[in-house]
């Protein structure tokens, strides 16, 4: 999945499309909510405002992550994007899910008859089309980047949060629009405002689940996540086949950003090799690794005897 990270990290087109779509949808929803008195429409407007702010935070995160390394941050600022992605997840939960559920409960307890349903249906249709266009753009970008992986596996293994955040947010937005439409229809057919409030609660639950998934993935990256297992195995195989290498111990990798990986390896070299030969071999391993995986920016190799006996337990087998 490393190729996906590199491509998505520099492409802000999808984020700008999502921002423009969410901002336009938010304005139209608030206007419709004012005319109809619909609780679901109001919470959908709040949801779109939160989504618009989220796109700006992700754009800022990508910009901040590109700052060069300095004395205080020798590995760079790449993890900024992971921090802002986590903030986005918190906003979706607190401002999106929280406000939606709160408004829904209030309207269930104190129901209000909706008026001018034509406005609501018109805005929902426009919103669905605009969100759909943004979703198609995010879908195509993520599909091209995920390769042969399944969708859920691609999300859980992604090292570029904005790539899947936009897709999940848009998916939740489109689901929310459909729920709002169903709630409004049931309210009109059964002449019961309860369903409008209930729709707001359902929208809040959808946003809450989305926020939980986003927070879980962003948290793993923020703490520090290794490269894909295929790369780790490939690095070990590449090193083991070098003439002069008798064993490979720990192969530790860490994503400093979606397209920047740091590698640390303990390698056992033949005892007969001179210091100069070891230096040249280390340089050869570094060059081959970076040529094969361009996202590897730094490689640290520690020569030691008996390195093969120090391999960490493979938790993937648990």
Return residue ranges of the chain for CATH 1.20.1510.10. Answer: 2-223
Provide the CA 190 distance to its chain's centre, in angstroms.
40
Any idea which of 26-40, 169-183, 219-233, 245-259 has the lowest mean pLDDT? 26-40
pLDDT band of residue 49 (cuts 50, 70, 90) is confident
12-30, pLDDT tens digit by residue?
777 888 888 888 888 887 8
The answer on pLDDT for 72 being more than 70 is yes
- Provide mean pLDDT across the span 294-309: 74
- The answer to whether the CB of 222 falls within 8 A of the CB of 86 is yes
pLDDT band of residue 147 (cuts 50, 70, 90) is low
pTM: 0.72
Residue 152 tokens read as 């859920």
224-277, pLDDT tens digit by residue?
888 888 899 999 999 999 888 888 988 999 888 888 899 999 999 888 888 888
- The answer to whether the CB of 123 falls within 8 A of the CB of 181 is no
Query: Would you say domain 2-223 falls under CATH 3.40.50.620?
Result: no
Return residue ranges of the chain for CATH 3.30.70.1350. Answer: 229-317
Instruction: State the Cα–Cα distance between residues 235 and 231, nearest whole angstrom.
Output: 6
* Max intra-chain CA distance, the chain: 88
Residue 142 tokens read as 């993520």
CATH superfamily, with its number, for domain 229-317 = Cation efflux protein, cytoplasmic domain (3.30.70.1350)
Residue 171 tokens read as 């998916």
pLDDT at 2: 42
Highest mean pLDDT among 142-151, 205-214, 301-310: 205-214
Long-range pairs for 267-276: beta carbons < 8 A, 24 or more residues apart: 267/239, 267/301, 267/302, 267/303, 267/304, 267/307, 268/303, 268/304, 268/305, 268/306, 268/307, 268/308, 269/244, 269/245, 269/303, 270/244, 270/245, 270/246, 271/305, 273/244
The answer on pLDDT for 179 being more than 50 is yes
The answer on pLDDT for 3 being more than 70 is no
Beta strands, E only, 129-204? none
- The answer to whether the CB of 179 falls within 8 A of the CB of 203 is yes
End-to-end Cα separation, the chain, in angstroms: 22
Of 164 and 201, the structure prediction assigns the larger pLDDT to 201
Instruction: State the Cα–Cα distance between residues 215 and 47, nearest whole angstrom.
Output: 17
Task: Tell me the average pLDDT of the chain.
Answer: 80
pLDDT at 292: 92
pLDDT at 146: 65
pLDDT at 40: 67
């Amino acid at each position: 999945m490393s190729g996906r990270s590199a491509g998505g990290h520099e492409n802000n087109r999808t984020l700008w499309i999502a921002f423009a779509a969410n901002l336009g949808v938010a304005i139209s929803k608030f206007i419709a909510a004012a005319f109809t008195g619909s609780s679901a429409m109001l919470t959908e407007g709040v949801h779109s405002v939160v989504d618009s702010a989220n796109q700006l935070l992700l754009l800022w995160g990508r910009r901040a992550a590109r700052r060069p390394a300095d004395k205080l941050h020798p590995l760079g600022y790449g993890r900024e994007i992971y921090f802002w992605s986590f903030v986005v997840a918190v906003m979706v939960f607190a401002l999106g899910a929280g406000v939606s559920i709160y408004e829904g409960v209030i309207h269930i307890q104190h129901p209000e008859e909706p008026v001018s349903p034509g406005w609501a249906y018109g805005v929902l249709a426009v919103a669905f089309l605009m969100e759909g266009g943004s979703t198609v753009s995010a879908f195509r970008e993520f599909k091209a980047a995920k390769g042969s992986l399944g969708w859920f596996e691609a999300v859980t293994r992604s090292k570029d949060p904005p790539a899947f955040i936009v897709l999940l947010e848009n998916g939740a937005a489109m689901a929310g629009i459909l729920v709002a439409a169903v709630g409004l229809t049931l309210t009109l057919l059964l002449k019961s405002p309860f369903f409008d409030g209930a729709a707001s609660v359902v929208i809040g639950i959808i946003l809450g689940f989305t926020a939980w998934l986003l927070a879980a993935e962003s948290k793993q990256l923020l703490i520090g996540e290794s490269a894909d297992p295929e790369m780790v195995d490939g690095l070990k195989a590449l090193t083991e086949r070098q003439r002069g290498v008798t064993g490979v111990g720990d192969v530790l990798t860490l994503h400093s950003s979606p397209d920047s990986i740091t590698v640390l390896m303990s390698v056992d070299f033949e005892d007969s090799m001179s210091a100069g030969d070891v230096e040249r071999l280390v340089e050869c391993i570094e060059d081959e690794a970076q040529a094969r995986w361009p996202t590897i920016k730094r490689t640290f190799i520690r020569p030691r005897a008996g390195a093969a006996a120090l391999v960490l337990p493979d938790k993937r087998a648990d």
